[in-house]
Every structure is written in structure tokens, then in C-alpha cells.
Amino acid sequence: MSQPNRGPGGIDTRTPNIARIYDYLLGGKDNFAADRAAAQRLMAAVPDMAGIVRDNRAFIGRVVRYLAGEAGIRQFLDLGGGLPAQLNVHEMAQRTAPGARVVYVDNDPVVWSHGQALLASGDQVAMVCADLRKPYDVLGHPEVLRLIDLAQPVAVICACTLHFVPDQDEPYRVIAEYRDRLVPGSYLAITHGTREEDPDGMVDAVISVYRQASAQLHVRSLPDIQRFFDGFDLLDPGVVWMAEWRPDPGIPPAGRIRSLRGGVARRPLACRSALLARASNHPRYGRRAARDRRAGPGPGRAGQPARGDAAGRPGFSGYHLRRGPGWLGYGR
Ligand SMILES: C[S@@+](CC[C@H](N)C(=O)[O-])C[C@H]1O[C@@H](n2cnc3c(N)ncnc32)[C@H](O)[C@@H]1O
């Protein structure tokens, strides 16, 4: 089948691409005419759009500095990491904690191919081409398994990404699946578009630009953004305008303050007995599941692999068992 929008290398250069539009807004060079035209339309609708995306990067910088410093986090999973920018998460984290390990996940092949250059930064960094809506695939990816130890706290970053996941793709279930795989002391950081402040109908103008792009924009209300943090304890000051999240004194925001919402939360310590009970009943990790695995395929389980799915991919328990205390590590 012919694909008229695809140029050399099979890249669709004619459809504005959300990663490359963002790159252009940040002053990057990894973009095509269609991306630049879309970015120009965004800037016509929201004159301080470039400032807002710089503020988003500044938010990520403050969060990573806090996590790698005060919070002692040494592993980062950046979901929808985007094209390499001026100061990337691994550079920010390793400034504070030189041994920090970072895996970038993006489903855009162009981001992935450019991101390979990051590998030159050393074996503590990887770029994975995967869809964040499939936590099973992301967390089972060999590069994630190589760099991220799920028995230790992890910081999951979803900056300017979840608003590209529509409700029908169940973003709350997706985030809950990551959450349930994180040990206590892990963190979730999010920035997200909202319609709370929209005096001139700018949000609709932005949505209509993205309607022509590689992914559509789905802004959410403050309560709906807060909902992503269910099961976490929000750090002060909560889900706020991102420029107001622990701002650096003397550094004013580059764009309007009331633009994107941002927040950071920590997976709380849980009661060991509750977790053991939950592990015991869990369909994949619990004692009943272990007994079924020992028994092999039988009535009601005929044809199902002991672990993993029908495609032969390992189940979560597969790599958790390899990774030491794993699920029961929650109770430590
Ligand atoms: C606006 S950029 C944000 C980049 C970076 N997180 C930041 O805030 O600076 C959004 C990124 O999310 C990626 N993305 C969108 N949907 C995704 C999905 N389902 N799985 C993985 N990446 C996704 C896009 O390809 C793009 O690179």
C-alpha cells in the first residue's frame, strides 16, 4: 500500500508530529516543515507557547533535582521522553547523583533513532521504543530490565504526555498498573494540560491544531489530573500550576503561570500483612498462582502458559523472580 506522507526512511514528514512540534517550540532542529507550520499555528493561538514548554522543562529539572538529591532516587523511567533536548533527564539526574540510571520510553521511531545518541552518554542510559499505554511491554523490555530494578524505588515521569492519551485508552488503568509495580518510596511526576484557565478560547485553538497532528490533545480538569495520583501521597504543594511547584527563587516563569498543571507524589509504605495477603490472593503472583504453575496446564487453565501471555512473553512474575525479593519486597 502506498503511503504518500512518508518520505525517505519511512518517516511521515507531512503530518505534524507531536514530538517534533515540541522540539521546534524548544528551539530544536529535529523537525520538518509540517511540524514548524503546526508550531507556528500554536504560537499564533498562544503567543507564550514556547515559554510554556520551557517552563515544563524547568519543572522537570526541579523535580529530577529533588528526586536525585533529597529523595535519593537512582532510577528514572521517563514515559514519553521526547526528542533529546538541551538538558535531558539523565544529565539532570547524574549532575546530582552520578550513578543514576535513566530509561526513556517513547513510541515515536524518530525519537527513538535520535535518542540512540543518548547511549553515547554511557551504559546508565537507554532509549526504548515502546507504547507507554502497555506497561507490561514497557516494564518487560530488556533495556528496562537491564537498568531498572523494580525491587528498588523508581521515579516515573510523565511530562506533557498523558494528555495525548484519550480516556478510551484507559490512562488511569495504565498509571495504576505502573503504580502497582513500584515499591514504596517510588515517585510519580506529571505535567498535564487543562482547560481551567481559558479566557480567550486558546485551549480549543490548541486542540484544533493537534487534531491535524500525529496525536490529539485531551486536556483534563484539575480533579481528573489529581486522579492519576490515586494510591500515591502527593508532595507539597500538591497538583499546582507547574511554575508554582517549588519554584527556584529569582527565576521567573518564561510563559504564563496558569498553563499546565504539575505534581509529584510518592508511593507510600504499606502494611506488610496487607501486602502479604494481597500477594497470596493475587492471580499472577499469589500462592494459588504458584500452585497452578506447579500443576501446569489443567482444567480451566488448559493451554495457558504457566507465566506470561499466549505470545510467550514472560509474565511480571518471570522477571520479578529473577530480580530478587520482587513483589513481596513491598513489605520491607
Ligand atoms: C510533548 S512531548 C513531551 C516530551 C517530554 N516528556 C517533555 O515533557 O519535555 C510528548 C512525547 O510523548 C510521546 N508519546 C505520546 N504518546 C505516547 C505513547 N502512547 N507512548 C510513548 N510515548 C508517547 C511523544 O512521542 C512525544 O515524544
**Model confidence pLDDT, tens digit, residues 27-79:** 999 999 999 999 999 999 999 999 999 999 999 999 999 999 999 999 999 99
* Structure confidence at residue 199 (pLDDT): 75
Domain edge (last residue) among 266, 296, 312: 266
In DSSP notation, 51-68 reads: HHHHHHHHHHHHHHHHHH
Q: What spacing in Å lies between the alpha carbon of 159 and ligand 1's midpoint?
A: 8
> What's the pLDDT score for residue 103?
97
Would 302 be classed as within a structural domain?
A: yes
Together in a domain, 149 and 257: yes
Taking residues 164-191, what's their average pLDDT?
98
Give 310 or 199, the one with higher predicted confidence: 199
State the CATH number of the domain containing residue 197.
Answer: 3.40.50.150
Which three cell numbers, joined as nine digits, stand for 109? 521511531
157 lies in the same domain as 302: no
Q: For ligand 1, pick from 24, 164, 169, 210 the residue to mutate: most ligand atoms within 8 Å of CB.
A: 164
pLDDT tens for each residue of 218-241: 999 999 999 999 999 999 999 999
Whether 182 is in a domain gets the answer yes
Q: Which three cell numbers stand for residue 284?
A: 499472577
Give whichever of 189-193, 267-271, 287-291, 299-303 has the largest mean pLDDT: 189-193
User: Sign (positive/negative) of CA torsion 171, 177, 180, 186?
Assistant: negative
Q: Is the CB of 107 under 6 A from ligand 1?
A: yes
CA–centroid distance, residue 105 to ligand 1 (Å): 8
Q: State whether residue 177 is helix, strand or coil.
A: helix
C-beta of 19 in contact with ligand 1 (< 6 A): yes
Shared-domain flag, residues 226 and 294: no
Ligand 1, atom 7: nearest CA belongs to which residue?
A: 159
Same domain, 107 and 252: yes
Q: Are residues 262 and 283 in the same domain?
A: no
7 in any annotated domain:
no
Indicate the number of domains in the chain. Answer: 2
118 — pLDDT class (breaks 50, 70, 90): low
Q: Where is the domain boundary, 213, 245, 266? A: 266
Question: Do 179 and 320 have their domain in common?
Answer: no
Same domain, 143 and 88: yes
Pocket flag, ligand 1, residue 18 (CB < 6 Å)? yes
Query: Does 260 lie in the same domain as 294?
Result: no
Q: How far is the CA of 218 from the centre of ligand 1 (A)?
A: 13
- The answer to whether position 316 is within a domain reads yes
Residue 111 shares a structural domain with residue 233: yes
**pLDDT of the residue at 185:** 98
Give domain status of residue 327, yes or no: yes
CB atoms under 10 Å from CB of 57, counted, come to 20
Give me the DSSP letters along 184-218.
TT-EEEEEEE--SS-TTSHHHHHHHHHHTSSS---
Domain hosting residue 165, numbered range: 49-266
Mutate to test the pocket of ligand 1, among 42, 89, 106 (most ligand atoms within 8 A of CB): 106
**Is there a domain that residue 28 lies in?**
no
Q: Give yes or no for residue 57 CB within 6 A of ligand 1.
A: yes
Could you tell me if residue 282 is inside a domain? yes
Which of these three, 266, 297, 316, is where a domain ends?
266
Ligand 1 proximity of 111 Cβ (cutoff 6 Å): yes
CA of 79 to the centre of ligand 1 (A): 7
- Residue 127 and residue 199 in one domain: yes
Q: Share the mean pLDDT of the chain.
A: 84
228 and 284 part of one domain: no
Alpha-carbon dihedral angle through residues 72, 114, 13, 85, given to the nearest 10 degrees: 50
Q: Are residues 184 and 281 in the same domain?
A: no
**Ligand 1 in reach of 214 Cβ (< 6 A):** no
Q: Is the peptide bond before 237 cis (omega within 30 degrees of 0)?
A: yes
> Are the C-beta atoms of 317 and 309 separated by less than 8 Å?
no
Please check whether residue 32 lies inside any domain of the structure: no
Q: Is 108 in the pocket of ligand 1 (CB under 6 A)?
A: yes
